[in-house]
Each structure stands twice: as C-alpha cells, then as structure tokens.
Structure 1
Amino acid sequence: MSSLSGIVVLELSRVLAGPWCGMQLADLGADVIKLEPFEGDDTRGLGPPFKDGLSAYFACCNRNKRSLAIDLRAPGARPLLEALVREADVLIENYRTGTAETLGVGYEELAAINPRLIYCSISGYGRTGPDATRPGYDYVVQAEAGLMSITGAIDGEPHKVGVAVADLATGQNATTAILAALFHRHTSGRGQRIDVSLFDTQLSWLANVGSNVLFTGEDAPRCGNEHPSIVPYQAFHARDGEFVLAVASEKLWVQTCMALDHEDWLRDARYGNNAARVTHREALCLEMDSLFLTQDVAHWLALFDAAGVPVAPINSVKQALAHPVAQARGLRIELAGVPMIGSPLNLSATPVHYQRPPPHLGEHSDEIARHYGLDPAVLRANGAIR
C-alpha cells in the first residue's frame, strides 16, 4: 500500500517544475498519466546524453508515469479527455496563462465536469499580477528574483546555481499544495485551484538573505563560499585542495579551537562570539587559511571529524553519486536499464515504490483509451491520439 494509492493525476506539463511534482506524486503511489503533445515533452530532445533514445533530462523527472500522446485541439480527443477528467483527482498544468483555456482545459471548464478536481497551475510569475502572461524559465527567474546576485565569487560576476533550483523548488511547492488540497477535499468534498510560480518560490527561497535585507534596508552582498551571518562557515584551502567547514554554533567554535590547538582564539575579543567573528571575518579567516595550507585535505577532514565539527570535501557529481551514503540510503536506482537518482522521501508504513521506468512517448495511449471504453484505432484515425 502506498500513500497515494487510488489517486489519479493528469499531468499536462513539460520540462521540469510540473514533471518534478508529478514524479513525486507518482513515487508516493498516485497513477500519474502524462498527457503529451504528439511531439512530446520538450525534454525528450534535450541531450545528449541519451540512452536507447531516452534523454537523461527526461529520465530524471518522469519515472512511474504513463504516457498518453494526445492532440487536445482535435475534436475527437474530447471524449477521452472528459473521461479522464471525470475520474481524476488532480491535474497539473504549466501552460502560459490563457493557453489552457484555449485548449479547453481551463480550471472553470474542467471543474464543471469534476467539482472534486484539484487543479494545480504552475507558471513563471503567477496566474495573476502584472507579469501573468510572461513565459517563465528557471534561469530568467534566478536572475530576476535575486538569486544570481548573491551567487558566485565575491569579486566576480553573478552566477546561476548549477541545477534549476527555481524549477525544482516550485515543483516541491506544488506537491505540498496538492497534498494539502487533497486533505481539505477529504473533509469538504470540494476541489480547488492552486497557483504556484517560479518567481514566488524563488523569492521565498531567499530566506535569511531576504530577511537580512528587510531588516536593514541594505542590499545583500555576494559572499561566494562564505556565509553572510556565520563565521567560520565557508571553504578553506588546504595544501592539496579545498574543503568546507561549518562552525554554526559557539559550542562548535570551542571544539574547533581546541582541535586546532588555538585556545588563544577563545580569549581573543575579536573572536569571542559569532557577531564578533563576522565583524573580524577577514583577520580570522586569513589565520585559518594559513594554518590549513600546511596539511592536505585528508588531514583536516580526519581532525575535524574526530572533534565533531561539521566538515566535508568538495566532491564532484560523480563522487557524490558514488558516496557511501547514497548507496546505503538507496539513492541509486535503475528501472529497465535506466539509471536514476531515487526519491529522498522515506516513509515507514507507506514507502515509495519504483514501478515504471520513464515512459516512451505514447507508450500507454492504447491501454488508457481502452480503460475508458474507447477504441484507440478510432481515436488514432481521428487524429486524437498517437
């Protein structure tokens, strides 16, 4: 038994935020039917790399789903679409504002067919507001919602994060909202519309940095690998490479000084507490960097591990995927020969299940049509499905 067994989700989304949400629901046991245009989700063509015609990008966010290739503009597709909507619990869409309505899959029209439907809209800037009709892409939103301005070297140019964090976080927000709406429907019997956007999500993810600006009225600096409010909490240079050190409490600061045989730092008023260390960041970190350059990374990792101070090497992606924790926690999975990163959700009574590899385009069109009592051959002849 899975957490969302019996829940049917229609995913009318592409690229990353919507599919990420759909995959999370599918991992939790929902039957996610991915409605794709005849050309397929854009990410099917984003590569290389490819494996047996499947792009790595598409594979990362589309497991456990069934694919229905359907032309929503074809009149012959309407009976199948309405049958799907009548049975569905959730619909996810990420069209540009207004497009869903032109395709006949807007909220009002579908809620009239199924008042219990939870309809989740994902967009760049929200379905309301001055930029509701603008297309939204992760890179653009990272720039516009402040993230790039605080990412990168202190004296360098702004940088995007290496993965599409605005998309991924928006997908997670959509999942959270859908689960809340399902709970509400359980008590009220009513569906509702959900509106989540990349801009809203990214702005909220500025978190403490955004809060600092609200408190002070001063803009946020770019801190590189340093932390704006904690010292020492950054990357340091050892003799043969770099490592990161996270001294996030006064207790850890004492442990750090003892491990480094620098009890004098505990008596130095410049370093007496975190606020003082932030003020005197440059002096302290110069001292620490000079010390760290005397030994290799492995030495410092062992020393701080023994002292109970959070420390880590800066691993490559390949090294991270091979990490013992990744192996022990089941984060490396394979379905039908397709390698993937597993779900981070661990539930004791209703664990996630990996049942389907990422689907080929239209792989399940026929079985879905037959389930609703429709002849796939007739639908195909009418240009409704592929």
Structure 2
Amino acid sequence: MTGILAGLRIVEGSAFIAAPLGGMTLAQMGADVIRFDDIKGGLDSDRWPVTKDGKSIYWAGLNKGKRSIAVDLRSPKGRELLTALITAPGEGAGIFTTNMPARGWLSYEALSKKRADLIALNILGDRHGTANVDYTVNAITGFPMVTGAVGHSGPVNAVAPPWDLATAYAGAMALLAAERHRRLTGQGQRIVLPLQDMALAATSALGYLGEAVVNQVDRPRFGNEIFGTFGRDFRTKDGRHVMICIFSDRHVDALAAAGGFKEAFASIEQKTGQDLKTDAGRWNARAELIAVIEPWVAAHTTDEVSAALKTAGALWAPYKTFRELSTDKDAVIDNPMFTFIDQPGIGAYPVAASPLQFGAAPREAPKPAPVLGQHTDEILSGILGLPGHEIARLHDEKVVGGPNK
C-alpha cells in the first residue's frame, strides 16, 4: 500500500453511510481498510441507487479501495477468525470501526482482552444506543421546519444525508487522533460517536440553538434565500437557473459590474438606508436587490449571464443535474481528482479520489470497490497466517466465502 496512511490497518464492520464512508476516507489516503460482511452480503449490499440489474452503485461508491472478507457471522469459528483479524499484532493494526451493535464478541471489553491497546470506534444512533438514521436524527434538529418554500406547512426532509456525512469524517478523524494517542502513550481506547450528537453539535455550532434561546424565536422559512445576507436562485431567459450570492464588499462591486447595477445599488442604499457592504444591509434590502437583479437575469441566456458574472468575478454558480455534472469538463472530466474506473458488475464511470492534497505524498488514484469476499483468502493467509488446506476447509464448511468459491 502507498499513500500518506500507508502502514495503517483498519478492520470495518459496517452498513449504510457513516461508518463505511469513514473507512473509505481512510482507504483513499492509503490505509488498508478491510471490510467484513456475512457470506450472504451486508445489510446495504443492494441499496439504491442500483443498476438495471440491481447492482448497488451506492455500495460501490462507499467502499472504494477496501479489501473484503466474507465470513459466516453466526458461526463461532467465523467470529473467532474476525476476532483474530481485528486484534492481529502489528504497529499500525488493532483498529476497529463499526456501527453494528458492539456487544458480545464485538464488544470493546471482549476484543481488548485479545489486544490491550485496541482502538475501537463505535458509531451509535444516539447516546442511549437507540437505533437512528440520518432522517430520524434530522427530524429533531429543527432543519426540516425551516427548509422549503415560504408558506409551506410541515417538514421538508433533506435529500443529502448531512449528519451521516459529518459523522463519517468525524469518525475518521477520531481514529487518527486515537492512533496518535496510542503511539505516544501505548494506550488503546473505545471511542463512542452518536450520530444524533454529531447533528446536535453541528446545530449548536451554527448558532441555531443560540438564536432560538437568546432571541426566543423559531426561524421562519425563507425558501431559497440565504438567511442573513444575500443569495438566491434566478431564472434565465432560456429557462435555466443560476445561484447568485453576495458575501463580501468585493462581491457587491463585482455583481454591480456584471449587470451594470452600480447606480441601482446606490439608489437602493439611499432609499432604504441600508449599507449593501454589510450582511445585515443586504438581508434587509433583499427585496429591492431581487427587483434589480431578477429582470436582468431573465432578459439574458444562461451563457450570457454566466459570461458576465464570470468576467466580473461575481460569486455565482449554474444549477446542474447529476447527469449534467457527470459530463462537466471542469468539475469532473478534467478534474485530476476523478478517474474513470471499471467497477465489476456495474461498468465504467467517473470516481473521485480523496479531495485532500498532501504536499508530502501524491494523491492516490481511486480503486474499485471489492466484490464480496474478494480478498478472503489473501487476508486469511497474509494476516492470520492460515495454510492453504485450512483455508480450503473453511470454504468447504462455509465458514468463509469468496467470489470464486
């Protein structure tokens, strides 16, 4: 293995998003991440989106670059093998991450008896151990009650799973922090990361709880307008949409130059008494700003609007569908982060490597996700040291599985 995390080995027992994405994040930086699944497949092995043949593009995306071992998780011998794998010796080994119930044979107490310096990350639904997913966690954060069109009644769920994503990256960071602590002290530890607490911590950090308590308000819906400054979508002459934002003095001047709004903006300031160089001023005068910007965008094509905004250095972006994004020259096709890979059972499509660019190590190209049990034999042999005849017997007894067995 190469990459900035070469020499680190993490064993992962996971499903859905937070845990596998955290492992994939580390794998893309060079860690040897070994995912174990039941020989019949994991809970999310067929989760959508899928191909027309039912192959999970979702699963492939979250497990790029990992190794796969397939084991009968109900078998005592299978559990014994995985225990040995999790607690195998080695300076960079002895690291385990899971969002499965970490009890019984998978508990930190049981595993640390085999390796005292074990690091184990347990991602929970909430701090009580109750099952939760991004959508149930999001429900209590308040965000669904401020998302959606002005005047809409009832919650609007998020399409992207923000708390799973945040938990994945926080979990990866936690494992690296614990590994550093172990190198300095020799001590292992159990790390608990509740998905709900991740969401609540972020909600608090963004000031939403503070606003509710200090100002004694429930924020209303503002549709696609960015609260507290200026930003919203505008429709072009040819029926497309662009997002235009103002976050600084420079953005005010750039937008004014793009659309010839200098006099109009000055008139808004004089009429409203608001300073457009401040967030508050832009927010309070947003209706007047929209009245100036909207007809200009509507009178021009997307290409014309884009050229003017880009030339002026304004803060903007065109809205794209996923299909449009997949063929975007700058974002995907010519972006060195992406590589077209041929994922077994799915086909060729652009896949992102790690977005991190380290000066001391080149970025690792993305690798396909493994086929279930693809690396069973090499893991049993290379890490656990089992001879060929013993591995063959485990296959015959259906304790382990592999793609060609």
Determine if the TM-score, normalized by the shorter chain, exceeds 0.5: yes
Secondary structure at 1:40 match in 2: coil
Task: Name the amino acid aligned to 1:325.
Answer: A
> What corresponds to 1:151 in structure 2?
147
Aligned letter for 1:326? V
Measure, in 2, the Cα distance between the counterparts of 1:291 and 1:213: 37
Q: For the structure 1 residues 133 and 72, does the alpha-carbon distance in structure 2 shift closer, same or farther, using more than 3 Å as the test?
A: same
Give the drift of 1:384: 2.7
Residue 309 (structure 1) aligns with: 314
Q: CA deviation at 1:300?
A: 1.8
Aligned equivalents of 2:374, 2:124: Cα separation in 1: 27
Q: Retained in 1: the 8 A contact 2:19–2:97?
A: yes
Maintained 8 Å contact 1:236/1:289? yes
Q: Does 1:277 align with 2:289?
A: no
Q: 1:142 aligns with which of 127, 138, 141?
A: 138
CA distance in 2, matches of 1:208, 1:254: 28
In 1: Cα distance, 2:366 partner to 2:217 partner: 51
Q: CA deviation at 1:32?
A: 1.0
Between the aligned partners of 2:362 and 2:44, the Cα distance in structure 1 is: 28
Q: Distance in 2 between matches of 1:44 and 1:37?
A: 11
Conservation of the 8 A alpha-carbon contact between 2:258 and 2:314: no
Tell me the SS of whatever aligns to 2:296.
helix
Structure 2 residue 352 is matched with structure 1 residue 341? yes
- What amino acid is aligned across from residue 370 of structure 1 in structure 2? S
Counterpart Cα distance in 2 of 1:139 and 1:58: 19
Cα separation, partners in 2 of 1:75 and 1:49, compared to 1, 3 Å: closer
| SS of residue paired to 1:42 | coil
The CA deviation string for residues 98-149 of structure 1, in whole angstroms up to 9 with x for no partner, is x3213x11011112221222111112213xxxxx232111222222222322
Alignment RMSD: 2.3
Q: Does 1:362 align with 2:388?
A: no
Find the counterpart in structure 1 of residue 399 from structure 2.
384
Distance (whole Å) between structure 1 residues aligned to residue 211 and residue 362 of structure 2: 39
- 1:35 alignment partner in structure 2: 36
- Counterpart for residue 290 of structure 1: 295
1:129 matched residue in structure 2: none
Deviations 1:43-76 (A, max 9, x none): 2212463388741011111011111112333221
Q: Do residues 230 (structure 1) and 229 (structure 2) align?
A: yes
Change (3 A) 1:118 1:280: same
Name the TM-score, length of structure 2 as normaliser.
Answer: 0.85
More deviation in 368-377 or 33-42? 368-377
Q: 1:112 to 1:51 in 2, by over 3 A?
A: farther
8 Å Cα contact 1:266-1:272 kept in structure 2:
no
The whole-number CA distance in structure 2 between the counterparts of 1:193 and 1:144 is 27
> Residue 159 of structure 1: CA displacement?
2.5
Q: CA deviation at 1:257?
A: 2.5
Q: Secondary structure at the match of 1:286?
A: helix
- Asked if the contact 1:125/1:199 (under 8 Å) is kept, the reply is yes
Moved more, 255-264 or 296-305: 255-264
Return the alpha-carbon distance in structure 1 between the equivalents of residues 80 and 261 of structure 2: 75
Kept in 1: contact 2:354–2:364 (CA 8 A): no
Structure 2 residue identity aligned to 1:293: A
Q: 1:48 to 1:313 in 2, by over 3 A?
A: closer
Q: Structure 1: state its 5+ residue gaps.
A: 127-131
Report 1:1-386 matches (<5 A): 1-47=2-48, 49-50=50-51, 54-87=55-88, 88-95=93-100, 99-102=101-104, 104-126=105-127, 132-156=128-152, 157-206=154-203, 207-208=205-206, 210=208, 211-231=210-230, 233-240=231-238, 241-264=240-263, 265-267=265-267, 268-269=269-270, 270=272, 271-273=274-276, 274-323=279-328, 324-337=330-343, 338-339=348-349, 340-354=351-365, 356-371=367-382, 372-374=384-386, 375-386=390-401
Q: Is the 8 A contact 2:353 2:364 kept in 1?
A: no
Return the offset for 1:11.
0.3
Q: Is the 8 A contact 2:241 2:319 kept in 1?
A: yes
TM-score (norm. length: structure 1): 0.89
Percent identity over the alignment? 30
1:355–1:301: structure 2 CA closer, same or farther, 3 Å change rule? Answer: closer
Question: Equivalent residue of 1:363, what SS?
Answer: coil
Return the alpha-carbon distance in structure 2 between the equivalents of residues 202 and 82 of structure 1: 32
For the 8 Å contact 1:15–1:41, the answer to whether it is kept is no
1:205 partner SS: helix
Task: Pick closer, same or farther for the CA change 1:251–1:164 going to 2, 3 Å.
Answer: same
Provide the aligned length of Structure 1 versus Structure 2: 376
